[in-house]
Structure 1
């Protein structure tokens, strides 16, 4: 059984499982086109309302810090406006996940605790992106290219 298969099974067992998307390359390409990049990472200096925080401790501690970061910085308002939220992983998974706001918190905790590498959460119009890096940072910014209200 591959890592993808293991994670897909675990996702299917969540109380409100999100939709899995096997053909995720177009989703990743749209995200890539919507933000400026510096090497393999988003160039956060070229985003609007950029926020960042360092993460310490184990992954369970990270979840609490990330959720506090999201609510303290009113990022939850942007996320809540999104009808569709996508999740892609830097390199561990070969599929994307489609979420609703209602599924977001539960899946965020699941992803951080069970899936290695970098985590990218973004809305279907690629207006915003939340990244949790394996180096221990959470970053959020609005796209200068796709900022539409």
Structure 2
């Protein structure tokens, strides 16, 4: 287990134990995101999304986690607060996690303050994605991909 994976498990052990956060042992959530969004290299091509919102952190030196958590709270779709939110990180963590909506809102700042790199949050269908980058870029957009809804993500949990 990497340092940041251990940190994640330590920070959120109560929520993992109670099922508010589930660690998924599957690449399907990431693959679903890759199928639903256009990418330029390793990043989402936000110009190819609907309802795109972009911001850049005003914090030049220091902890931008408060500002990024504010963007997360502002743009995290709340039309279905009982629906899970999926989280993956491009480098520091080797797993995807599924969060209860209210847990993510309550603990987002802690997550962002302790786990580095790029943070991707999306719904089960990957119909929207919110990305918070360590360089200060914050983006939200909806997928232009059409098609039948995909099966629910029900994979083994660690």
- Shorter-chain TM-score: what band? 0.7 to 0.9
Equivalent residues in 2 for 1:1-149 (5 A)? 2-3=2-3, 4-13=5-14, 18-57=20-59, 58-59=62-63, 61-64=64-67, 66-67=69-70, 70-71=73-74, 75-76=75-76, 78-81=77-80, 83-146=83-146
CA offset at residue 120 of structure 1? 0.3
Gaps of 5+ in 2: 150-158
CA offset at residue 24 of structure 1? 3.3
Asked if the contact 1:121/1:130 (under 8 Å) is kept, the reply is yes
Once structures 1 and 2 are overlaid, which stretch shifts more, 10-19 or 99-108?
10-19
TM-score, normalised with respect to structure 1 = 0.83
Q: Is the partner of 2:12 in helix, strand or coil?
A: helix
More helix by share: 1
Which whole-Å CA distance do the structure 1 matches of 2:110 and 2:134 have between them? 15
Q: Report how many aligned residue pairs link the two structures.
A: 144
Gaps of 5+ in 1: none
CA offset at residue 103 of structure 1? 1.0
Q: Is the partner of 2:92 in helix, strand or coil?
A: coil
Asked if the contact 1:122/1:128 (under 8 Å) is kept, the reply is yes
Which whole-Å CA distance do the structure 1 matches of 2:51 and 2:8 have between them? 33
Which whole-Å CA distance do the structure 1 matches of 2:97 and 2:135 have between them? 22
TM-score, normalised with respect to structure 2 = 0.78
Q: Is the partner of 1:135 in helix, strand or coil?
A: coil
Which whole-Å CA distance do the structure 1 matches of 2:115 and 2:146 have between them? 28
Say what the alpha-carbon RMSD is for the aligned residues.
Answer: 2.6
CA offset at residue 26 of structure 1? 1.2
